[in-house]
Homo-oligomer: A and B are copies of this chain.
Amino acid sequence: MSHNSFGHLFRVTTFGESHGVALGCVVDGCPPGLPLEAEEIQAELDRRKPGQSRFTTQRREPDQVKILSGVFADDRTGGRQLTTGTPIALMIENTDQRSKDYSEIRDTYRPGHADYTYEAKYGLRDYRGGGRSSARETAARVAAGAIARKVLPAGVRIRAALVQMGPHAIDRANWDWDAVGRNPFFCPDAEAAARYETYLDAIRKDGSSVGAVIEVVAEGVPAGLGAPVYGKLDADLAAAMMSINAVKGVEIGDGFASAALRGEDNADEMRASNDGTPVFLANHAGGILGGISSGQPIVCRFAVKPTSSILTPRRSVSRDNRDVDLVTKGRHDPCVGIRAVPVAEAMMACVLADHYLRHRGQVGTPA
């Protein structure tokens, strides 16, 4: 057991606080012989990096990743750097640790944050920037996800997008994956993205914040991944996504909407195909039946609550049990859900890589 690890055969352990010396992860169980360069991990990290638009925190962290172990550039193989099958340790040094005044956050509990609960649990907390509870920890996930992608079979494609900001859902008829990279919200609906710009500017100027819904889709996943009944693929995805900071709900396929359906509308029918595998006529199930992938796209959505750090004064208490009114200053995201998009992809990749190896262990290489 490890509180700070997930996965079994593709196992990720993360460490580090927001304003400590460094954060990072150890990826254990990675198959040997995969080409891996720091630049590839860096590319994923750069997608998540703060400060890329006015809609994410202005904290500037280069978030430069360093591979400490687990790879080797053998001159016998043309000097190409390959994974060796041993633990891959990645480190990101914290360079933007300005010595600021933390006295307010030190002595009071910010509403919506983990300040009170960390202190209730551990009796103390690293209060600088949220310490371990900071969303900065997700950088380590993204780094691990970059490795996980390499473990998956070539045909697997994992993409995520923001599908709702505050109360405003996208129009799914406008869905265009190419749009995702063209707006600062990772939004697949270009029209919605244009509206979000005005909307979020207003929120930001108010010193307020909003929540979001993220959808992550994995295509090309072979049928058979997932291990009933407590290692179900959807159960592991639920835990993976819920473990992301500020996430309050996770659903697969039709999710909560499926509760309102009747059986004949929900169960995805099938038809025979030429290649011998069934063709599904719908995907209400989100690609998972009985905890096992069906070969259809895996569809997972999760809700991110609004950033708790806002400029409106909030009622709270101090460590010594006095009433206080609190304003969270500092650099914060008006919609922390935006930067959850690359994190969602990373978590999906890690869960799938783990189940791919688990399946190969028990049953052999998937067809």
Q: Does A42 contact B (CB under 8 A)?
A: no
Q: Does A188 contact B (CB under 8 A)?
A: no
Indicate if the CB atoms of A270 and B24 lie closer than 8 Å.
no
Q: How large is the interface on A (under 10, 10 to 19, 20 to 34, 35 or more residues)?
A: 35 or more
Besides the known contacts A2-B13, A117-B291, A118-B290, 15 further A-B residue pairs in the complex with CB atoms under 8 A apart: A4-B228, A5-B28, A20-B68, A23-B69, A74-B124, A84-B124, A123-B363, A203-B262, A245-B290, A249-B249, A256-B256, A269-B316, A270-B316, A272-B318, A361-B362
The closest CB in chain B to the CB of A310 belongs to: B263
Min CB distance, A268 to chain B, in Å? 6
CA distance A122 to B358 in the complex (A): 13
In chain A between 118 and 175, which residues have their CB closer than 8 angstroms to a CB of chain B? 118, 120-126, 131-133, 137, 164, 166-167
The closest CB in chain B to the CB of A292 belongs to: B117
Indicate if the CB atoms of B112 and A211 lie closer than 8 Å.
no
Indicate if the CB atoms of A252 and B248 lie closer than 8 Å.
yes
Min CB distance, A284 to chain B, in Å? 8
Q: Does A183 contact B (CB under 8 A)?
A: no
> Can you list 29 A-B pairs, Cβ within 8 angstroms, ordered by A?
A2-B28, A3-B29, A9-B358, A13-B13, A16-B69, A16-B89, A17-B69, A17-B72, A23-B68, A75-B106, A84-B132, A91-B91, A112-B263, A112-B266, A117-B288, A117-B291, A117-B294, A133-B290, A203-B262, A209-B262, A211-B259, A213-B256, A243-B291, A248-B259, A248-B286, A250-B251, A261-B305, A263-B309, A277-B321
A271: which B residues are within 8 A, CB to CB?
315, 317, 323
CA distance A243 to B239 in the complex (A): 10
The closest CB in chain B to the CB of A322 belongs to: B272
Q: Does A220 contact B (CB under 8 A)?
A: no
The closest CB in chain B to the CB of A241 belongs to: B238
Indicate if the CB atoms of B272 and A317 lie closer than 8 Å.
yes
A230's partner among B5, B22, B164 (CB-CB below 8 A) is B5
In chain A between 1 and 59, which residues have their CB closer than 8 angstroms to a CB of chain B? 1-6, 8-9, 11, 13-17, 20-24, 26, 28-33
Min CB distance, A63 to chain B, in Å? 15
A9's partner among B1, B118, B212, B312 (CB-CB below 8 A) is B1
Q: Chain A 289-308 against B: per-residue CB contact (8 Å), 1 yes, 0 no?
A: 11111110000000111111
Min CB distance, A315 to chain B, in Å? 4
Indicate if the CB atoms of B256 and A121 lie closer than 8 Å.
no
CA distance A133 to B291 in the complex (A): 9
Q: Does A342 contact B (CB under 8 A)?
A: no
CA distance A29 to B360 in the complex (A): 11
A6, A269, A288, most chain B CB atoms within 10 A: A269
Q: Chain A 205-227 against B: per-residue CB contact (8 Å), 1 yes, 0 no?
A: 00011111100000000011111
Indicate if the CB atoms of A357 and B365 lie closer than 8 Å.
no
A24: which B residues are within 8 A, CB to CB?
68, 89
Indicate if the CB atoms of B167 and A260 lie closer than 8 Å.
yes
The closest CB in chain B to the CB of A206 belongs to: B262
A254's partner among B110, B248, B362 (CB-CB below 8 A) is B248
The closest CB in chain B to the CB of A111 belongs to: B267
Indicate if the CB atoms of A210 and B124 lie closer than 8 Å.
no
